[in-house]
């Protein structure tokens, strides 16, 4: 569709310069004005001529009438002036042939903007706090982050995925204290992360009645910072247990990382940045703490050192950003965290700029909304969490039941159940704009009716089935008479993929791809029900419809992978 939009822009610009020699209108300017009408009855591409009224000093209807006298062939069937709009109608027979040919030639690379070739992007996402469960609250950063990685890789970027583990801080003092008071090695070895979570929750419950426990926890963490051998052993053990648990979820999601360097990795890298802040005169004392004053930018001060000289999150994040810039020479460094941390990132991004680092404007924070379960906020401290593995297990069990009812002989039933069950949860989440707060109602998340992940994966499986029955050689799309309206609508939906990919990249918004998938699935299923494919008596039409099905299979399969879903040839 972008190619046709460009051709329409060139036709309009050429005609405008002929009708209005002094207008200086360029094809690029017209391209930005063109729109896709929501109703195909209004045309496929439209130019709202009121946008030209000031430049051309004419009423919009008059402009539309003057510009419509152009030869639309071969790309368009007609160009019409309707009120103040210039409406282009696509020649879908030639467009479908060209589109299917491009997709067949480019395969999985079709739709890539190739804007990242020769560039590196670092993505910091998932990043759970060690010794805490992987719950639904971690789903956003994990799947949004990984989808953005896949989108950037698709665009040609060299991607570095970093899991910035929360593996440092007073939480470990609390856990060490709780383990020594109420835990046992045997129980933790048997129940691993579940046992650690219970100890962490119990600590907070006991500390409400006995606040001195918080002092004990701070003392244990201070010993850890000072290199106490026993505390270091416990800390490393807790990390090993946590990573084993997290890897199970990452495997289900098909996610791998290039680095697991967490907060502790940057402990020896922070003093250099603190000293640079002092040298530049940026540090000020505020009630004994060292801060950077950001009042000029309407932000609270950025805390760098506590009164006791210990570091905080901004200090670690600045040290991590410097390390990544020096290590990876990134063109972009993307952080995917909750919107609640937006101020934190705005503060330390500004501090990095004030420190004089030239790459400060390559730092990108991608926020997302909160997740609650049936209206209740998640909290590890209170124990009110829904573990992601439990949610995935419920979805997988449901898919397994449906699969058994519909197809007793389905091959690889367990693999399919996992792909579709996990995909249902991921698709549900990524169907929403990332800034939207989500109240996860489990019944809705696990529904397999309507605009869901299983529906999308089933549509993909349907294309696979048609192609398998059609034979190994996929014919080329040949121009025939005017295609069926459902066929034309499918071509239109299919052609939107490059634009949706670009929008998803520009706005760091995977839901553009999810919505494209739903549009494409709806168009294909209408086409499937209204147009004979394999049973079509006209061999040329049959071949063209098989070719179009193959194009849908390629693009739908690629789109599914861009939002972390697996392609399923059978369901």
pLDDT digits (tens, 9 = 90+) for 429-487: 999 899 998 887 767 766 777 889 999 999 999 999 999 999 878 888 887 777 899 99
Q: Which residue has the tokens 């699969």?
A: 403
Q: Tell me the β-bridge partners of 292.
A: 283, 302
Predicted pLDDT at 415: 87
Length of the chain, please? Answer: 571
Q: Count H helices, E strands: the chain?
A: 22, 13
Measured distance CA(440)–CA(143) in Å, rounded: 15
> 36: Cβ–Cβ under 8 A, 6 or more apart, which residues?
1, 44, 45, 46
Contact 105, 336 (CB under 8 A): no
CA-CA distance, 115 to 117, in Å (whole number)?
Answer: 6
Residue 384 CA to its chain's centroid (Å)? 27
The whole-angstrom separation of Cα 106 and Cα 420 is 28
Residue among 481, 498, 474 at smallest CA distance from 548: 474
**Quick one: pLDDT at residue 423?**
94
- The strand pairing partners of 291, in sequence order, are 284, 303
- Given a cut of 70, the residues of the chain with pLDDT beneath it are 373-385, 405-411, 442, 445-446
Give me the residue label for tokens 């071949």: 543
| CATH of the domain spanning 2-90 | 3.30.1360.70
Taking the model in full, what pTM does it have?
A: 0.91
Q: What pLDDT does 41 receive?
A: 81
| pLDDT for 405 | 65
If we measure between CA atoms, which residue out of 315, 263, 264 comes closest to residue 289? 315
């Amino acid at each position: 569709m972008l190619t046709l939009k460009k051709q329409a822009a060139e036709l309009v610009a050429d005609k405008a310069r002929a009708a209005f020699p002094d207008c200086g209108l360029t094809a690029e300017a017209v391209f930005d004005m063109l729109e896709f009408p929501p109703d195909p009855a209004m045309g496929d591409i439209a130019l709202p001529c009121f946008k030209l009224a000031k430049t051309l000093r004419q009423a919009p209807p008059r402009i539309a009438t003057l510009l419509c006298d152009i030869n639309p062939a071969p790309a368009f069937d007609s160009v019409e002036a309707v009120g103040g709009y210039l409406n282009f109608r696509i020649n879908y027979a030639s467009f479908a042939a060209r589109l299917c040919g491009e997709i067949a030639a480019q395969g999985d690379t079709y739709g890539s903007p190739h804007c990242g070739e020769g560039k590196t992007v670092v993505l910091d996402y998932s990043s759970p706090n060690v010794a805490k469960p992987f719950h639904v609250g971690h789903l956003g950063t994990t799947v949004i982050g990984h989808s953005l990685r896949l989108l950037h890789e698709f665009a040609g970027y060299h991607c570095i995925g970093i899991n910035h583990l929360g593996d440092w801080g007073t939480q470990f003092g609390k856990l060490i204290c709780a383990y020594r008071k109420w835990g046992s090695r045997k129980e933790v070895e048997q129940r691993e992360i579940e046992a650690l979570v219970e100890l962490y929750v119990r600590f907070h419950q006991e500390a409400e009645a006995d606040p001195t426990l918080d002092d004990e926890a701070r003392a244990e963490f201070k010993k850890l910072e000072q290199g106490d051998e026993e505390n270091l052993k416990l800390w490393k053990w807790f990390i090993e247990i946590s990573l084993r648990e997290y890897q199970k979820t990452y495997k289900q999601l098909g996610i791998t990382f290039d680095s697991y360097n967490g907060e502790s990795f940057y402990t020896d890298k922070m003093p250099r940045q603190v000293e640079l802040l002092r040298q530049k005169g940026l540090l000020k004392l505020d009630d004994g703490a060292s801060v950077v004053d950001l009042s000029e930018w309407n932000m609270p001060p950025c805390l760098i050192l506590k009164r006791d000289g210990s570091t905080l999150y901004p200090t670690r994040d600045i040290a991590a950003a410097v390390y990544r810039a020096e290590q990876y020479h990134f063109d972009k460094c993307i952080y995917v965290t909750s919107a609640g941390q937006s101020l934190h990132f705005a503060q330390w991004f500004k501090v990095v700029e004030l420190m004089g680092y030239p790459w400060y404007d390559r730092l990108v924070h991608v926020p997302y909304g909160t997740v609650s379960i049936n209206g209740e906020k998640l909290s590890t401290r209170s124990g009110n969490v829904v573990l992601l593995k439990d949610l995935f297990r419920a979805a997988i069990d449901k898919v397994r039941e449906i699969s058994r009812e519909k197809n007793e002989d389905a091959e690889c039933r367990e693999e399919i159940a996992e792909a579709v069950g996990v995909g249902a949860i991921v698709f549900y989440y990524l169907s929403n704009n990332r800034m939207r707060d989500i109240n996860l109602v489990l019944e809705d998340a696990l529904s397999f009716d309507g605009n869901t992940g299983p529906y999308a994966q089933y549509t993909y499986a349907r294309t696979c089935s048609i192609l398998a029955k059609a034979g190994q050689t996929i014919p080329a799309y040949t121009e025939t008479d005017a295609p069926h309206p459902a066929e034309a609508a499918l071509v239109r939906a299919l052609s939107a993929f490059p634009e949706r990919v670009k929008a998803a990249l520009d706005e760091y918004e995977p839901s553009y791809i999810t919505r494209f998938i739903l549009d494409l699935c709806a168009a294909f299923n209408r086409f499937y029900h209204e147009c004979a494919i394999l049973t079509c008596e006209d061999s040329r039409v049959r071949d063209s419809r098989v070719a179009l099905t193959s194009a849908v299979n390629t693009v739908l399969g690629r789109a599914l992978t861009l939002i972390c879903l697996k392609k399923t040839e059978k369901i």
